Amino acid sequence: MTKANLYWICQIGGWFFFVLVEFIGYGNTFGYNKLLVFNVVVNFVLGLSFTHLYRLFLIRTQWLKLPLSSLIPRAIFGVIVVSALLTTFNIWLDRLTVPLMGQLPIDLVLILNYLFNWSKYILMWALVYHLFQYWEKSLEAERSRYHMQAILRENQYNNLRTQLNPHFLFNSLNGIRTLVDLEPDMAKEAISRLSDLLRSSLQMNKQKTVRLEQELSTVENYLLIEKIRFDERLVYKFEIDDSVRHVQIPPMMLQTLAENAVKHGISKIKQGGEIRIRAFALKDKLRIEIVNTGKYEPVLNEDSTGLGLENTRERLHLLYDDKASFEICNLGENQVLALIEIPL
C-alpha cells in the first residue's frame, strides 16, 4: 500500500466516522430527516476539503521540515484557522438545516462553543497527521543511517581485504628469496606455485565470502610453498568434516592465520613443528581450530603480528557483528591455538 492510498483511507474513514457520530447525536436530539442527512454530507465534504487543503499548505510551506520548537506554534495557529473556517460554515449550515438551532442567537458563547467543538477534532487530526509524519521521518532517518553504516562497513571491509595481498606477497617472496642462491630449482618451483596461488587468491578476493573448501585449497598451496623452504621441518594436517566444506567464510582468513603460524611458530623452532587445521560443526556454528607448534607472546609479537590477527577480528565483526568470534592463546607448553567460530 502506498503512502497516498493510506492517507486517503485514513482521511475518508476518519471523517466518515466523525459525521456518523454527529448524525446520531443530532438525530437523537432534533429528529432524523433529509435536512440532517444534507447537513452531515456537507460537513463530511467540508472536513475532508479543509484538512486536505491544510495538508497541501503544510507541504508547500515545508513546515513539516521545521524543528518541533518552530512547528508546534505554527501547527496550533493552523488548527485555529481551520477550526474558525469550519465554525463559520457550520453556524450557517446548522441554522439552515436544523430549525431549532436557528432560534439561538449568534453571540460570543455560541461561537466559542462551535470553535471549541471543531478545534477538538481538527487538533486530533493534526496530531495524528504530524505524529505519522514524524514517525515516517524517523524511519527514513533510521533507514539512511543503516544504509550509511552498510556503506561504511563495506568500505572498511574492502580496506581490510586489500591489506592482505601485499602483506601475503611480501612474506612469500621473502621466504622464496632465501632459496634463490641455495636451491635455484626449488626457488623456481616455489615461484610457480606462488603465481598459481596469487591468481586464485586475487579471484577469491573479489568475493566477500568463499566456501571453506576453496579457502583450504589456498592454505594448502601456501603451505606447499613454505614446505619447499622448510622441508621436513614443516608438517601440516587437515581434519575437515565434509558437512562444513560448503560453509562460507571470509577469503584469505585461514591463509593469514596459517602464515602467522609458520612465521611466528614453525620458523623459530630449530626442529620445526606441525600445523593442524580442524573444522567441524558445533551446535549452530562452524568451529575452526588452527593448532601449531610454538608459543604465543602477544607483547613480543605485537608489531609483527598485529596486522593479520587484528584484520581477522575486524573482518569477522564487519561480516557477522557479534555472532562470530576469534581468539588465540597458548595450548600447553609448546602449542598455539587460533580458534574461529562463525554462524552456520
Asked if 42 and 125 sit in the same domain, the reply is yes
Q: What are phi and psi of 340, to 5 degrees?
A: -125, 135
Of 93, 118, 145, which residue sits at a domain end? 145
* Nearest of 333, 339, 271 to residue 296 by alpha carbon: 333
pTM of the complete model: 0.53
Domain with 65, as residue range(s), is 3-145
- Evaluate whether residue 177 is within a structural domain: no
Q: Buried (b) or exposed (e) across 144-173, using 16+ Cβ within 10 A?
A: eeeeeeeeeeeeebeebbeebeebbeebbe
Asked if 37 and 116 sit in the same domain, the reply is yes
- Asked if residues 266 and 258 have their Cβ atoms less than 8 Å apart, the reply is no
- Evaluate whether residue 160 is within a structural domain: no
Asked if 120 and 194 sit in the same domain, the reply is no
Asked if 205 and 76 sit in the same domain, the reply is no
H helical segments located in the chain: 3-30, 34-61, 68-97, 108-182, 184-204, 212-230, 253-264, 302-320
Per-residue pLDDT tens over the stretch 28-57:
877 788 888 888 899 899 989 999 998 888
- Mean residue pLDDT across the chain: 81
Residue type at 128? V
Higher-confidence position of 234 and 171: 234
Confidence check: pLDDT of 274 > 90: yes
CATH of the domain at 238: 3.30.565.10
Q: How far apart are CA 96 and CA 126, in angstroms?
A: 29
Highest mean pLDDT, choosing among 5-9, 165-169, 199-203: 5-9
With bands split at pLDDT 50, 70 and 90, how would you rate the model's confidence at 236?
very high
Asked if 123 and 228 sit in the same domain, the reply is no
Q: How far apart are CA 189 and CA 19, in angstroms?
A: 89
- Give the chain's domain count: 2
Asked if 219 and 265 sit in the same domain, the reply is yes
Of 123, 145, 167, which residue sits at a domain end? 145
Of 145, 172, 200, which residue sits at a domain end? 145
Asked if 189 and 319 sit in the same domain, the reply is yes
Q: How far apart are CA 43 and CA 337, in angstroms?
A: 78
